[in-house]
Structure formats: structure tokens, C-alpha cells
Amino acid sequence: MQNVLVTGGCGFIGSNFVRLVLETLPEARIFNLDKLTYAGNPANLKDVENNPHYRFVNGDICDQVLLERLFAEEKIDTVVHFAAESHVDRSIEGPAEFIQTNILGTFALLETARKFWITSPQPPSPSPRFLHVSTDEVYGSLGDTGLFTETTSYDPRSPYSVSKASSDHLVNAYYHTYGLPILMTNCSNNYGPYHFPEKLIPLIINNARNGKDLPVYGDGKNVRDWLYVVDHCTAILKVLQQGRVGETYNVGGNSEKQNIEVVQTICDILDEKVAPLANDQPRRSLIKFVKDRAGHDRRYAIDASKIKNELGWEPSVTFADGIRTTVDWYLENEEWMNGVLDGSYQDYYARMYDER
């Protein structure tokens, strides 16, 4: 890992990963390729923008010419592919962007890596790596019991999860057909600093702090496995450094929670930490159950025993600790939150969110 291309590095997980690599691998050079769509925020990496080992490139992963120039000029030997459209409701309203970015963008990256690593007479490294970051949503929905494993059959239910499943299959095809040295991770729901506020946890923190309604889909009993974002990033780094080429590793937080539990926990923490509501009511009184999302998967849960047994990774942050750390971060970074809350999205946030 000398010259690392991170796609979508100005997003939530990508920015946390860039920061982790710069802190732990001082010899690595990071090239952050990000289109800066609504959820890509350069402020997420303001603290490292002058680091000599970091370079931001404003561009689209679908731009084959740009990709080939980057690979040639910077001798890219590692790709960590985060860039994706990820909001389920947005995929239902407008699936075309998800097909374009998540499928065709991944295809463009794979083709470029194949050209420079496989067919080139002078590849940049004897052991390049292409790590594709995916999601547990490709597996579909679980019942009350059971866990997703790396061999669980794919059963995606939304345009978003279908687009990610398609990209997963492309990545695996490039390994089996061309010998491209790929790795893949399928993670559970992330939370933590720099999370864009169309997602459940930052949305609830912001609304509850300011006395606004807290929308909860359906009966609120949809279950997700919550993974602190820094734990996820350490898992990705571990897979890059020690994972077996061609393998998939599921990454989970061992923290299954109903959505309503998550919302109530945030309310209780904020009641402890900030001024009470004007009417002195607990913040749980702001909870409003709203019409459920179309095709809303009931339960996700990850079996992360493979990455634990093979690579020695397991989550280090409990949900109880991580959610308090996350609430504190948002309380201490109100300026960041105000900077990303463009007025044109306010109504959208009020009626729609995504757990992921």
C-alpha cells in the first residue's frame, strides 16, 4: 500500500478511513477521488487537507479518462472503493443514479485496474489490491433468527441493494475471469462522526436537539446491526493488509437494535446533556410513527466470525459507548452540521431517512 486510490473519500465512511490510513500508515499516499455530490463534504477532511501524503481529486468514478490518468500518473497500487449512492428511498424515487454510479462506476474502476495491473507489461506493484466496500443489504431480509454469512444467497429488495449486489458480482467476476486481486467487505449499519444527516442517527440527534419531530417508519421494530465507523475502517485496513485475495469478509458490530430503541436512546442521552424542551417534556414525546417505506427489510444481522477467526478483527466499541461518543461529537460540531444542512433538503429530512 504505497499509492492508494480511495473513491468517495469525502463521504462518511471514506473520510474516516482516509484519516485512519494517514494516522497509521505514514508512508502511504492517499488519492481521494470524489464527485462531491450532496453527501460528499470536503469539510470532513479539512484537518488533513494540507498533509503532503494526501491529494484530493474532484471527479467521477465513471470518467474512464480521468481514472486512467490517475493510475498512470500516480502508479496506483491499491483501490479502496467506497463511492456509491446509498439512500434506499432515493433509489426508490430515482434509481437511474444508483445504476450509473454503483454499477457502471464500479465497472469503470475494474476495467482501469485490469488495464494497469493485469494487462500492462509494467504493473505498479507485484501485489496490488482492489477492495470493494459493500453492504449487508444485498442479502435481503432476515426473520427473527439467523445471521448473514459470506455464503448467504443474495436476495436484494430495493434498487439500491440491487445495484450494490450487481457491483459485487462484477467484482467477483473480475477475480475469476481476469485474476484481478480483489477483496470484498459487506458491512452492517455504520454510525459515528461525519455521518450525513439524511441517515437515522444524525437526523434524530439534530431533530431531537432542536425540538423537531422524530419520524420513525412503521412500528419502529425493524432491526439493524450497528457498527461504529472507526471499527469498520480498522476492519477494512485489516482485510487490505492480511485478507486472502478473492475472499469476502462480513463486518458487523454485534449490536442488534430495533430502530425505536436507537431513537429512544438518543432522546434519553440528549435529555441528560442539553437544555430541556420548551414544554419540559422528554424528547421521546417528539417521536412520530410514519408510513413505512416500500419494501422495508425487517431485520439485518451479521455473522462476523470469519474475519475474527482469520484476521483477528472484532469490534472494539459497544453501541452504548459509541452512541454516546457520537452524540457528543454532533453536540460539539454544530458548525459542521449547519454547514451540511442545505435548506433545499430540510423537508426531505423531515419525512425520509435511511438507517444505513
The gap from C-alpha 323 to its chain's centroid, in whole angstroms, comes to: 17
CA distances (Å), origin 291, targets 85, 258, 295: 23, 17, 12
- Taking 70 as the pLDDT cut, the residues of the chain under it are 341-356
The pLDDT tens digits of the residues spanning 11-21 come to 999 999 999 99
The pLDDT tens digits of the residues spanning 15-58 come to 999 999 999 999 999 999 999 988 889 999 999 999 999 999 99
* Per-residue pLDDT, 351: 47
Spatial contact of 86 and 356, defined as CB atoms under 8 Å apart? yes
168 lies in some domain: yes
Alpha-carbon distance 283 to 263, whole Å? 10
279 lies in some domain: no
50 lies in some domain: yes
pTM equals 0.94
Catalytic residue among 60, 77, 137, 225: 137
Catalytic residue among 54, 139, 160, 249: 160
* Per-residue pLDDT, 210: 92
* Per-residue pLDDT, 350: 47
173 lies in some domain: yes
| DSSP codes of every residue in 238-252 | HHHHHPPTT-EEEE-
38 lies in some domain: yes
Say whether 93 is catalytic.
Answer: no
270 lies in some domain: no
Catalytic residue among 60, 77, 136, 256: 136
276 lies in some domain: no
Say whether 136 is catalytic.
Answer: yes
146 lies in some domain: yes
Say whether 137 is catalytic.
Answer: yes
Q: Which domain holds residue 71?
A: 3-194+226-255+296-317
Number of domains in the chain: 1
* Per-residue pLDDT, 345: 47
- CATH number of the domain encompassing residue 144: 3.40.50.720
* Per-residue pLDDT, 121: 83
